[in-house]
Amino acid sequence: MPFPLLRKMLPAILLLLLSGCIREHKKTCCATDSFAGLAGDPAFVKAHASPVPMSVNLRGAMIQYPTPDGRFAHAYLLRDSLKSNRWIFVFHEWWGLNDHIKNTAQQLFDSLGSVNILALDLYDGRSTDDAQVAGKLMGGVVTGRADNIIQGALNYVGGQARVATLGWCFGGGWSLQAALLGKTQTAGCVMYYGMPEDDVEKLKTLHSDVLMIWADKDQWINQQVVDDFRVHMKAADKQLTVLEYPADHAFANPSNPHYDKASTADAWRHTLQYFRHQFQR
């Protein structure tokens, strides 16, 4: 190519290279973004059958609270009758804050006692039972907005609260991100088949250990993801407990065709034990 022509095209070439770098940075800027990218994977969408309607007797209440970005967020609240500074933030799957998540939050509340439960809504009031719509909702979550929803929840419970986190799938990754945002208030973190954080420097700021629950048939939160998380947590000098089950992704959701009752019961037993231990420390 003649040099004058190359010089003329150079600005356009640099612009293309720069825009590619920006797109790649946006794609890999954090673990939750990379997991949200799975919304475009047909196999991932197919692995999530529409949840069946549930008949539940919900005793909690939906609340609204301010967020640092000048907006408001929604959450499902179960508050202990006796004043308690123990809180668990619950993070929904890609369907949104539906009755299944509210009912699970209620089971957690009934099982533990002397704890408050706040199931956060990262979709700002939206939920669905359609996998295609769920993919769009998950893929459309903006990290900054989700961070503000979590920070607003931390402000709502107050600086004296000890906060543990729990989530599944999409919410499993956000359970870990919320534990990082909670800083010294963080009492524990449970993530069911969620995407881990891979930034060791961020993991060094974690103020609790982590219980990670995964299924050995999961194509997305797979053995490589788990092994890498082990390496990163060790490099950050943080404690990680991993429970592996002979099941598939979303095995703990009773509305999913891959639901595994026995594995779910055992994982739930360990989850309750973990929270009891963490709040006694």
* Residues contacting 267, CB < 8 A, separation 6+: 192, 213, 243, 245, 252
265 to 20, 92, 154, 259, 269: CA distances (angstroms): 46, 19, 30, 11, 6
Q: Which H or E run contains 163?
A: strand 162-168
Q: Is the pLDDT of residue 24 over 60?
A: no
Phi, psi of 36 (to 5 degrees): -60, -30
Average pLDDT over residues 50-63: 85
If residue 86 lies in a helix (H) or strand (E), which one and from where to where? Answer: strand 86-91
- Owner of token pair 């592996």: 244
Structural domains in the chain, sorted by start: 3-280 (3.40.50.1820)
Per-residue pLDDT tens over the stretch 205-235? 999 999 999 999 999 999 999 999 999 999 9
Q: Which of these, 211, 111, 227, lies nearest to 167 by C-alpha position?
A: 211
3-state secondary structure of 106: helix
Q: What is the pLDDT of residues 154-203, one digit of tens each?
A: 999 999 999 999 999 999 999 999 999 999 999 999 999 999 999 999 99
Is residue 271 pLDDT above 50, yes or no?
A: yes
Burial (Cβ within 10 Å: 0-12, 13-18, ≥19) of residue 249: buried
Rounded-to-integer distance, Cα 23 and Cα 180, Å: 25
Q: What is the pLDDT of residue 103?
A: 94
Res 7: pLDDT: 54
Q: How far is CA 149 from CA 6, 85, 93, 118, in A?
A: 49, 20, 16, 12
Torsion-angle region of 170 (φ positive above 0: left; ψ -120 to 50: alpha; else: beta): alpha
Q: Which residue has the tokens 């963080």?
A: 186
Residues 6+ apart with CB under 8 A from 102: 56, 58, 60, 76, 119
Among residues 217, 213, 197, the alpha carbon closest in space to that of 258 is found at 217
Residue 213 and residue 42: Cα distance in Å, rounded? Answer: 24
**Against a cut of 0.95, is the pTM above it?**
no
